[in-house]
Structure 1
């Protein structure tokens, strides 16, 4: 082969490589590889400094418990029928797909609608409590209702019958029952919907009085096994779970310790006795005392600092995404709720409410990506500012030390992609740390796509401005 032909062949091969590279779609998301996936890795100086005064945190805790026990203070249903049964009208107009990815048949749908007995709502008003972790469903079924699974962002895990998840020990007001008695319609402090009957325990006035001890504790990590003194399994607690402290048990243990009956390690209490609700065969709630180490259960409110927030965030880091609490996993708003619960800060259920009804909202509507970035970096308080997007929310944890881009801790399904006219997702599917430009290095992700969805930021309650404690 002469020199000219050799050079021509090299040029052709190089062009082929270039064309192949241009036609290839990148995989993965660079932020997940480049950024440390630990919230504690980005802590600012003086991260142990309190973010609010003890007086403000006391007020926040009081507000939390008012919301938490709200259903027990209501004597009747607070929801109009069109609100309680919104799923009937909404999904009745949609073509839904079931667990076999085949369309819901009309007879199946009509049977589900009839199961709700809408004309007789509300049929009761009984105070109750969740006796295990459970789902709140839009309609009385554990079967899924997917939109077209062939479309991006639909299908699993986006079961539109899944409204929310509540943890064991959540106070409830039950206002209705399904025709078969297998489901109850209930109101909780942060959500409402249909819950399985076997997840509910009825409470009388004596139970409620004894349960509202005035001293409360929060779970400090996930998958805390609850066992009675006899060793029987009583449930599983996750970060965000709240139990009352058994004051009588604490007083007894203190008295025994003073008499030398109980040996205290290190001179302090090493465990908290908390009240955990269980369901009897008859459906009533009983409270059993469960002793948990202080590494698992801590008094509310926990001291609020960036360092403490990062520690609890890392408890959840990397855990799978769960639409509406599906499979006891968290979505974006649930992650924020559970993150702030140990500090006695109440957040509403969904991202839109969290973006508008907490602390001091700052609108970013209509601003360019550059202006939004500048405002976040200037006014955002790392680990104490929420960033609210259309249908999404997360926690601002400061600037990336390398690029200066705002960093977001968020439970996210993925980045929106478009490739050859077809929409898709670059799936993250977990709680992660990313910039607000995550996925933009990909050929199929539009520049500024995430900034374009950014609607505002929320400066969390500080007590410095009138009305900021909400």
Structure 2
């Protein structure tokens, strides 16, 4: 499979915080009656079905996708690769790191100290120009990125903790005006994503106070992270990492909040679904090499273990049984804007799930749906979209994409397609309130919901101009028409 480079641009940063077309107005929020819909996935997947333990993805496809995943994670398409990093560092004009960082700063600083401020703090008061200029811009030290940037092997690094990736070198949240529809808490505009422990990184630069590092991730975006949550990856460390993977394979965490236990029996930290570590021994599923930071700032492996029911040899077989076991622990977890508090938004939810099965998905839903064979249903009516999905959907391997949101098709139940997604909520056509779902959930796709017919359907042809399904059990194509597929 040809591996595509998806280089970061400012459009990625602005779009990354997706699944957000339905944020609530203050005091105008309702709770969607999710209790009317079972959140037990085992109710919908029959364990006595003949295919319950049979992989849904062929060996040839999964092998190609697994190899592509490894290339993205620690290979030639990763932050440990000279060619990959140089491709990002050499971007010019508006796509350069300097230009993107400067643009984002100016975007959020806009209208500070005026009667029409744009950016607000947790106390509901607007941020001042002084805060932007003296606490943020000065610490960003943008001049270091204005010169030509080069790859330095000594700048390779690894996450030694779970990390909240930030637009600026600060943990202070930034909200748009809480008085406006769909703004305010919990939508921290500086929250970019979560980065799991054990993730390879590349350090582009550091803040003036050295407490923050601007890093390049394996998804191709550049973000600020706390310097004390990463460690430098020496040539020896990277060699050990890659050799251990060759000899013993990778291990992948299959449930959220799974304890990583060191040799003293103490919990180092808790890992989340999709986290990857080199295995210790080929025959030992739950023993891993775990990265820690030494006093000199370099990474070192220690031996650790994970409970056997929370980890698997990578990749896990793509059977319905295994999808059920991976998805069920995620259901009910709160929606996490940009991975806030290590919860998931729509694209991070699917990215974590498919990491378990060896399928690389980008961080952005607008790129995720391009990772398999696509069928564009955008020109169809709401009802035609639902009927086509019911007929064409393949359980657990079909993505459903609308602009700003992505879902996973589970199957057909009660004459409607059922999807798994992590979404904030739904809204009516007049945008007057939000009906909050606010969690990882199972929900049928209906033309309208009987509990509240005012709510716009996720499949609505008028308000959702894009509606594309993607088969992840096939390799990418340029898109097929429904007529061609139904022949």
Q: Same fold (TM over 0.5)?
A: yes
TM-score (norm: length of structure 1): 0.83
1-side partners of 2:308 and 2:323: how far apart?
17
Cα deviations by residue, 1:262-298 (Å, 9 ceiling, x for unpaired): xxxxxxx665321111112222111101123331211
Aligned 8 A contact 2:29 2:436 in 1: no
Cα deviations by residue, 1:318-355 (Å, 9 ceiling, x for unpaired): 00111111111111111000111111100000111112
In structure 1, the partner of 2:410 is 397
1-side partners of 2:358 and 2:184: how far apart?
35
1:168 aligns with 2:168: no
Match of 1:323 among 328, 337, 346: 337
Match of 1:101 among 107, 124, 144: 124
2-side partners of 1:183 and 1:123: how far apart?
20
Q: Does the C-alpha gap of structure 1 residues 136 and 28 become closer, same or farther in structure 2, counting only changes over 3 Å?
A: closer
In structure 1, the partner of 2:166 is 137
**RMSD of aligned residue pairs (Cα, Å):** 2.5
In structure 2, the partner of 1:387 is 400
2-side partners of 1:364 and 1:123: how far apart?
44
* Offset of residue 301 of structure 1: 0.9
Larger Rg over CA atoms: 1
Cα deviations by residue, 1:226-271 (Å, 9 ceiling, x for unpaired): 1211234322111110001124xx5xxxxxxxxxxxxxxxxxx665
In structure 2, the partner of 1:74 is 82
1:113 aligns with 2:137: yes
* Offset of residue 365 of structure 1: 2.1
Match of 1:225 among 220, 240, 259: 259
Aligned 8 A contact 1:74 1:173 in 2: no
1-side partners of 2:389 and 2:456: how far apart?
19
Is the partner of 2:287 in helix, strand or coil? Answer: strand
In structure 2, the partner of 1:407 is 418
TM-score (norm: length of structure 2): 0.80
1:432 aligns with 2:445: no
2-side partners of 1:124 and 1:98: how far apart?
37
Q: Does the C-alpha gap of structure 1 residues 49 and 96 become closer, same or farther in structure 2, counting only changes over 3 Å?
A: same
Cα deviations by residue, 1:202-249 (Å, 9 ceiling, x for unpaired): 1110001101222101001111111211234322111110001124xx
Cα deviations by residue, 1:161-220 (Å, 9 ceiling, x for unpaired): 011101100000001111111110001111330000001101110001101222101001
1:461 aligns with 2:475: no
2-side partners of 1:441 and 1:178: how far apart?
53
Q: Does the C-alpha gap of structure 1 residues 291 and 324 become closer, same or farther in structure 2, counting only changes over 3 Å?
A: same
1-side partners of 2:418 and 2:196: how far apart?
29
- For structure 2, the residue ranges without an aligned partner over 5 or more in a row are 1-27, 90-95, 112-117, 480-487
2-side partners of 1:330 and 1:73: how far apart?
28
Q: Does the C-alpha gap of structure 1 residues 152 and 40 become closer, same or farther in structure 2, counting only changes over 3 Å?
A: farther
- For structure 1, the residue ranges without an aligned partner over 5 or more in a row are 1-24, 251-268
